[in-house]
Amino acid sequence: MPPVTSVPLLDLQGQYRPLRDDILRAIERVCDSQRFIMGPEVEAFEREVAAALQVREAVGVSSGTDALLAAMMALGIGPGDEVITSTYSFFATAGCIARLGARPVFVDIDPVTYNIDPHAVAAAIGPKTRAIIPVHLYGCSAAMDELLAAANGAGIAVIEDAAQAIGSLYRGRPVGGLGTLGCFSFFPSKNLGAFGDGGLVTTNDAALAHRVRLVRNHGAEPKYFHKFVGANFRLDALQAAVLRVKLPHLPAWTEGRRRNAARYRELLAPLEERGLVRLPAEPVGCFHIYNQFVVRVDRRDEVRAELERRRVGTEIYYPVPFHLQECFAHLGYRRGQFPRAEDAADHTLALPIFGELTDDHLCYVAEALAAAVTAS
Ligand SMILES: *Cc1c(COP(=O)(O)O)cnc(C)c1O
């Protein structure tokens, strides 16, 4: 092996190569059938992924964003409604609320997990609140017991944004089946990635699943008879076929990420002890699947620049919390209102964590980070 001189944030080639023949055969099967919309591949994938996630119903959709939209549309959320979510997530979480004409109500995060603060959620529930959207950020579940207690007390829905958390467990149970509905993404960089866009809505409520299925296909039942206005949120048969090949490998890929996280903890322990790096938390009862391995450092932008000079790929998830986004200025939030999210936005950095990294890669990243955080 030549010495490591660079480490990308993500490289999917190593995952693809051993599955290449199986995946091309699956694609060929769909092409030969000429059935591209719905059909047996989508149905089989829905059954297989529902079993893997220990949830009664799984509905394949066109993206994680559309999973959130379809879930909210199935609940009838719209103008006049409020939906509470974290101010710190990927844009889709908040964008979907606004797109349906509802009002996003942002709250601050827990400083240790970066997930939504359940006390802040309880305080934000009002007469117009229809749902809470906790995000299992980076692959670590939100505090679901507290969130479900608050939601049940108020009689409102919980939509889990599990886009980054497929296979993550909360007190031994897979996320996505804990709340009213769960939403997943198969964007290529997620732990189960399609060859393009894809998503999933999960629920244990059969009636709600039926509504999601209608929403996915223009609200039609039967064809050309429209009960309400839905959209085209269908998962492509080609994507379902690719996902069916990949799904059985997900537990092994998750183990690879967790092994890398454990190794980083060893390698970075000296920096953590000196207070130079804060490592991700893995709270009791939370089985983290490390879609991202996010550390907190001082002088983050300088540290990132030094890592870039040493050819280590990093990313900032996310540099601007929702309450400071230009498109939400009309909601009237101000800087300083959610200090923990603002601190995370200014000081965190995602390191390479994908399962195919070797020990040499991890050592290279750890050494580069040590040099970056100790540079004067
Ligand atoms: C990726 C992601 C989404 C959106 O998924 P897409 O498939 O890209 O539409 C939503 N929420 C979170 C937290 C995500 O990370």
Q: Could you give all domains of the chain from N- to C-terminal order, each with its CATH number?
A: 13-248 (3.40.640.10), 249-374 (3.90.1150.10)
Cα separation, 371 vs 135, whole angstroms:
33
Which range has the worst mean pLDDT, 41-50, 218-227, 283-292, 338-347?
A: 218-227
Nearest-atom number in ligand 1 for the CA of 185 is 7
Q: Which residues are registered as beta bridge partners of 37?
A: 236
Q: Confidence band (pLDDT; 50, 70, 90) for 143?
A: very high
Ligand 1 center from residue 364 Cα (angstroms): 30
| CB neighbours of residue 27 within 10 Å | 15
pLDDT digits (tens, 9 = 90+) for 64-90: 999 999 999 999 999 999 999 999 999
> Does ligand 1 come within 6 angstroms of the Cβ of 197?
yes
Give yes or no for residue 1 having a pLDDT over 90. no
Nearest-atom number in ligand 1 for the CA of 190 is 1
> Does ligand 1 come within 6 angstroms of the Cβ of 82?
no
Give yes or no for residue 274 having a pLDDT over 90. yes
> Does ligand 1 come within 6 angstroms of the Cβ of 322?
no
Cα separation, 249 vs 129, whole angstroms:
39
Sole residue written with tokens 């996003």: 104
Percent of the chain with pLDDT over 90: 98
Percent of the chain with pLDDT over 70: 100
Cα separation, 276 vs 61, whole angstroms:
42
| CB neighbours of residue 316 within 10 Å | 17
3-class DSSP state of 90:
coil
Give yes or no for residue 376 having a pLDDT over 90. no
| CB neighbours of residue 294 within 10 Å | 24
Give yes or no for residue 288 having a pLDDT over 90. yes
Token duo for residue 238: 């080609």
3-class DSSP state of 163:
coil
| CB neighbours of residue 69 within 10 Å | 27
Q: Confidence band (pLDDT; 50, 70, 90) for 375?
A: confident
Residue type, 17: R
The pick from 90, 135, 317, 322 for probing ligand 1's pocket by mutation, whose C-beta has the most ligand atoms within 8 angstroms, reads 90
Token duo for residue 318: 């996310």
> Does ligand 1 come within 6 angstroms of the Cβ of 161?
yes
Give yes or no for residue 183 having a pLDDT over 80. yes
- pTM, whole model, 2 decimals? 0.98
Give the H/E segment covering residue 209. Answer: helix 206-216
